[in-house]
A and B are shown apart, each in its own frame.
Chain A
Amino acid sequence: MGIMDKFKELGSSYDDIKFAGRDPFSVRFDQILSPTEGMIAGKKTILLGTNNYLGLTFDKHSVEQAVSALRENGTGTTGSRIANGSYGWHQRLEEELAQFFGRRHAMTFTTGYQANLGIIATLAGRDDHLVIDADSHACIYDACKLTSAPVTRFKHNDPVDLRKRLSRLKSIGGNIIVVTEGIFSMLGDKAPLKEIVAVTKEYGAYLVVDEAHSMGVLGANGRGLAEELGVEDDVDFILGTFSKSLGAIGGFCVSNIDDFDLLRVACRPYMFTASLPCSVVASVVTSLPKVKNGQFLREKLMSNAQRLYDGLLSAGFDVGPDVSPVVAIQLPSTEIAVAFWNALLDEGLYVNLALPPATPTNQPLLRSSVSAAHTHKQIDTVIDLITKVNLDLGAVTPERIARAG
């Protein structure tokens, strides 16, 4: 048996998707015109799947600071912070992040994936126990593979189920670490964080919240779901990313825990990878105050999110439980989802195609993410295009969605 034979079934499913039109997993943007428009195969296309929530990727000031840091510090750091040292920009970002979140400590990573992977896997030692939401992002599941701690899942967004599972762990000893997310990336639903905090504290467990999709989006100062719900003091570790609201790349953890800096010499995904280039760090440092003072952008973002959510809901689509910048349409089959996705691209609209098992409901999704930079006119065009393609394909009627659900 050849080394690639194990991927034959995967390859055959991938071929089926590719033969139906374009390859959704290697879309090429020939040019990015703005945070909301790009050129794909010569066609001007509305970008509605970028996670660019505040539309800061082309912020003039951030671009200028990034260019200046690039000229002063070079194209890369060529090594890890443990082996090759840190730059002033790294330390400045950590200080300003800690200040942003009102915490004593901050630690940055090269990607958001690595922040979750590293912190969760390192915090949970052999004698501890991880308890994660069943719909956690893949990076949290990968942390569960890297950790030496046992792992239990609780039912998605269900504090009663969490309590049941924590009560079974009462007598085992060690620390218990509960992990959830602010906004879940596929359906855009929020965690019932107040209730999860209450259960976690009742059992003396630690709480880790990944605010990747909620930082910049929720809370008066953009600190995420914990800020919005007033429970920041009860969240022991906040994880997040620079690749969404902050428009760059990288990940972070902030906390008030004593001895936090020991993680720097224990956390392998921090220690054994090259650090962020200063150009990226400079753009994040420059964008951070814009996120903090971004009330106007957040209002615009939520107004766009509400407009898209309401428009799709009244067109008969099943769009998930909460209004948030992540708006996903659930579709009854992969064939329909792939055809729908291709037809939208033909019409000049780019959304994300998400297929099981990467989706929480085991159904395919057309996932979109709204930006503050979208105009109401663009959102209305999007609703019209999705409705038109649905009529052309005869893909989804409300009755059909009800049957599939």
Chain B
Amino acid sequence: MTGTDIEGVIIKELRSLSNGTVEVKSDTNIVRDLNLPSLDVMDLVMALEDHFDVSIPLDRIAEIETVQELADLVRSLNTEVDV
């Protein structure tokens, strides 16, 4: 799966979490721009784990700010699993 595909899934999940009130792009800051509570972010991680069948440890999320960074993380975790 390409980075763009992963971003697309993340954007779709984030749109539903923010009820479509904010435009979500690859450089959107997930916590600051969307004002998401940390619980929502953790639930987003669970949904992405299921979508991509990968384990995303919570400590790796702490350093993530933008949609693109999250997509990069999911892609790198996918690769780690493949290896």
Mark A residues whose CB is within 8 Å of B: 129, 134, 144, 150-153, 155, 164-165, 168-169, 171-172, 357, 362
Contact = CB atoms under 8 A, between A and B. Distances in A.
Given A168-B49, A171-B81, A357-B37, A134 B54 contact: no
Given A165-B49, A168-B49, A171-B81, A153 B58 contact: yes
Contact of A169 (B42, B43, B55, B58): B55
B53 interface: yes
Contacts of B38: 357
Nearest to B45: A153
Contacts of B81: 168, 171
B49 A144 contact: no
Contacts, number: 38
Interface in B26-54: 37-39, 42-43, 45-46, 49-50, 53-54
Given A171-B81, A357-B37, A357-B38, A151 B50 contact: no
A4 B7 CA distance: 36
Contacts of A144: 58
A152 B49 contact: yes
A144 B58 CA distance: 9
Contacts of A129: 57
B55 A152 contact: yes
A165 B47 CA distance: 12
A86 B24 CA distance: 57
Interface string B39-77: 100110110011001111111100000000000000000
5 contacts: A129-B57, A152-B55, A152-B58, A168-B55, A171-B81
A169 B49 CA distance: 12
Contact of A150 (B37, B53, B59): B59
A150 B39 contact: no
Given A168-B53, A357-B37, A150 B46 contact: no
Contacts of B37: 357
Contacts of A362: 39
Interface of B: 37-39, 42-43, 45-46, 49-50, 53-60, 81
B57 A152 contact: yes
A165 B48 CA distance: 12
A362 B49 CA distance: 22
A190 to B, nearest CB: 22
Contact of A151 (B39, B46, B54, B57): B57
Nearest to A362: B39
Contacts of B55: 150, 152, 165, 168-169, 172
B46 A134 contact: yes
B83 to A, nearest CB: 10
B18 to A, nearest CB: 15
Nearest to A154: B46
Question: In the complex, which of the residues B46, B49, B55 has the most CB atoms of chain A within 10 Å of its own CB atom?
Answer: B55
Question: In the complex, which of the residues A129, A151, A155, A164 has the most CB atoms of chain B within 10 Å of its own CB atom?
Answer: A151
Contacts of A165: 49, 55
Given A134-B43, A152-B49, 16 more contacts: A129-B57, A134-B42, A144-B58, A150-B55, A150-B58, A151-B57, A152-B55, A152-B56, A153-B42, A155-B46, A164-B50, A165-B55, A168-B53, A168-B81, A169-B55, A171-B81
A160 B53 CA distance: 14
A1 to B, nearest CB: 15
A151 B59 contact: yes
A357 B40 CA distance: 10
A357 B54 CA distance: 26
A164 B50 CA distance: 9
A357 B49 CA distance: 22
Contacts of A152: 49, 55-58
B27 to A, nearest CB: 24
Contacts of A153: 42, 45-46, 58
A134 B54 CA distance: 17
A153 B38 CA distance: 13
